[in-house]
Amino acid sequence: MTNLVYVGWSHRGAPLELRERLAFTPDRAVEALEGLFKEEILTEGAIVSTCNRAEIYGVTAREDELAALSGYFARFHSIDGAWLLSTGQSARGDSTVRHLFRVTSGLDSMVLGEAQILGQIRDAYRLAVTARAARSVTNKLFQSAIDCGRRVRNETALGTRPTSVPGVALSLAGRIFESLAGCRVLLLGAGQVSELTTRLLVEDGVTDIRFANRSAEKAAALAESAGGKAVPWERRAEEYGQVDVIVSATGASEARSSSSTSRSRATSSPPWTRSRTCTATTSTR
């Protein structure tokens, strides 16, 4: 007997530290799928890896899918298997379909109606197709889920005001200031979340945006696109006292340390500086 199953770790049950360690690049996702097929844990499937979730959907003949998949990813990512078992979620059959539909529609996101997830599910499906990991069941599952997500966006109120984690973070920052337009912003990171944050900042009329990233080239490219300024990664702390808003959009541990440092510096600053200092953090894994 074969089962349609899903096993995943998301913001609903897994801590950020674990979700970061479970993140997949496209190449690593393909490698993981190949390993699952080789060990006969799955016969087809796809891996969804986003900021707040790592999920595997597929077909298996095993009855212990949570234990089998948790054990495999414990070895793959060098993570304690008991930790994965205690924080993972799983489902079979119709419950798997229902879960993926909720994810694709933005109903299971950290921010209700989050708009990026539909494209991320589409990318995960395309990767599985390219890797020849998506076969009859996976094809039908993901095609139907993507169609469901598209209909939710087009036919319900959930899609009338697209949201995202960076958007919510900036909205919260906007409550501190009369307008973000006159603010000086330091953005840590230069990935997809940073690109989205940059677009939102520009739309809000922010003209002083400073970019710091481990890759100087990426920081410079993003700064050029927004008319901002690139800051060397090793000198980012020098900017903390010069800006009003700090947005950390990177999964690097040193960036999280930087955010903590910026908050402590704000605390030791004069009262008028404390009242105009805001740090927003968005995870990229």
Asked which of 95-109, 174-188, 242-256, 270-284 is least confident by mean pLDDT, the reply is: 270-284
* In contact, 72 and 51? CB cutoff 8 Å: no
Catalytic: which of 51, 148, 183, 278?
51
Residue range 62-98, pLDDT digits in tens: 888 889 999 999 999 999 999 999 999 999 999 999 9
Judge contact between 62 and 56, C-beta under 8 A: no
- Has 278 been annotated as catalytic? no
Sorted by sequence, the CB contacts under 8 Å of residue 190 that are 6+ apart come out as 211, 213, 215, 218, 219, 221, 222
User: Which pTM value belongs to this model?
Assistant: 0.67
- In the chain, what is the straight-line distance between the N-terminal and C-terminal CA atoms, in Å? 35
Q: With b meaning 16 or more CB within 10 Å and e meaning fewer, what string describes 79-94?
A: beeebbeebbbbbeee
Residue 8 clears pLDDT 80, i.e. is over it: yes
Q: Look at 163 and 284; give whichever has higher pLDDT.
A: 163
Specify the 3-state DSSP secondary structure of 4: strand
Give 104-109's long-range contacts (Cβ < 8 A, gap of 24+). Answer: 104/145, 104/146, 104/148, 104/149, 104/152, 105/148, 105/149, 105/152, 105/158, 106/149, 106/152, 106/158, 107/158, 108/10, 108/12, 109/52
Tell me: pLDDT of 274 over 80. Answer: no
d(CA 257, CA 281): 11
Between CA 50 and CA 217 the distance in angstroms is: 24
Give the confidence band of 171 by pLDDT, cuts at 50, 70, 90.
confident
Distance CA 129, CA 121 (A): 12
DSSP state of 179: -
- Dihedral class, residue 93 (left if φ above 0, else alpha if ψ from -120 to 50, else beta): left
Rounded percentage of the chain residues whose pLDDT exceeds 90: 53
The percent of the chain in helix, strand and coil, each rounded to the nearest 5, is 55, 20, 30
SS3 63: coil
- SS3 state at 251: coil
Average pLDDT of the segment spanning 185-200: 84
The reported pLDDT for the residue numbered 69 is: 93
Least confident of 9-23, 80-94, 123-137, 240-254: 240-254
Mean pLDDT of the chain: 83
Please name which of 197, 256, 243, 259 lies closest in space to residue 222, comparing C-alpha atoms. 197
- Residue 162 banded pLDDT, cuts 50, 70, 90: low
**Model pLDDT for residues 99-117, shown as the tens digit of each residue:** 999 999 989 887 777 778 9
List the domains of the chain with CATH numbers.
3-159 (3.30.460.30), 165-281 (3.40.50.720)
Residue 236 pLDDT grade (very low, low, confident, very high; cuts 50, 70, 90): very high
